[in-house]
Amino acid sequence: MGHPKTSPRISPDIPLDIWPLPKGCGYELQMQYGSIGWAVGTTLRYAQVVRNKRVIASIGDGSFRVTAQDVSTMLRCEQRTIIFLINNGGYTTEVEIHDGPYNVIKNWNYTGLVDAIHNGEGKCWTAKVLYEEELINAIDTAMGAKSDCLCFIEVIVHKDDTTLMFVYLHLMSPSMHNMKD
């Protein structure tokens, strides 16, 4: 969220090219800060500032596990955030830059972890999805029947599933993949 005394930024009239957002919809990107683990704490704070809105967060498995305990405070504060946990089994961004065995991380049951944090106190709903139809159903539920809950949707994707930006990066700089220590 940047400086703690500032409010979340409001997106400009011309939204991001890659993620067209409705006018007036704020957003924050981890790329500005460059540290994994940032997104969970940021989501907590953001939701606390914009109580009249619903925050949607998309967080990688490697990043989420660094600061996962903040979900506990989100529940205590009765936040209704929707978190998409992108589980691709490791540090795919790092794989694209410099591959190595250290980019594979021990897989967790992320929905199970959030269920354990929930522990029956507060309003929380979790789902683990593998297919597009399941994802669509989960979004419908999060926006409908569970709109009063913190919704945590773990999306299982292929380990090489990455952003278009990295595809471009590859095309422009194929030598990146051949870097040696």
Ligand X SMILES: Cc1ncc(C[n+]2csc(CCOP(=O)(O)OP(=O)(O)O)c2C)c(N)n1
Phi, psi of 87 (to 5 degrees): -95, 100
- Provide the 3-class DSSP secondary structure of residue 180: coil
For residues 11 and 27, the answer to whether their CB atoms sit within 8 Å is yes
Determine if 37 is a binding residue for Mg ion (CB under 5 A). Answer: no
β-bridge partners, 82? 56, 151
Closer to ligand X by Cβ: residue 76 or 98: 98
Tokens representing 73?
Answer: 């405070």
Write down the least CB distance from residue 54 to Mg ion, Å: 24
Give the x-and-dash track for 9-38 against ligand X (CB under 6 A): -------------------------xxxx-
- The correct pick among 40, 59, 62, 81 for binding Mg ion (CB under 5 A) is 62
Neighbours of 148 (CB within 10 A): 10
d(CA 162, CA 129): 18
| Angstrom distance (rounded) from CA 121 to CA 102 | 36
Six-digit token string for 169: 């990066």
Residue 32 contacts which entry, ligand X, Mg ion, none (Cβ below 5-8 A, type-dependent): none
- Give me the phi and psi of 26, to 5 degrees please: -80, 160
| Residue in 93, 134, 135, 169 binding ligand X, rule: CB under 6 A | 93
Q: Which of residues 68-97 bind Mg ion (CB under 5 A)?
A: 88
Pick one of ligand X, Mg ion, none as the site partner of residue 94 (Cβ within 5 to 8 A by kind): ligand X
Looking at 41, 45, 58, 94, which residue binds ligand X (CB under 6 A)? Answer: 94
Q: Does 92 bind ligand X (CB under 6 A)?
A: yes
Place of tokens 């913190």: 150
Site string for ligand X, 33-72 (x = CB under 6 A): -xxxx----------------------xxxx---------
Output the residue with the shortest Cβ distance to ligand X.
60
Give CA angle at 21 (10, 166), nearest 5°. Answer: 105
Q: Which residues bind ligand X (CB under 6 A)?
A: 34-37, 60-63, 86, 88, 90-94
Q: Which residues bind Mg ion (CB under 5 A)?
A: 60-62, 88
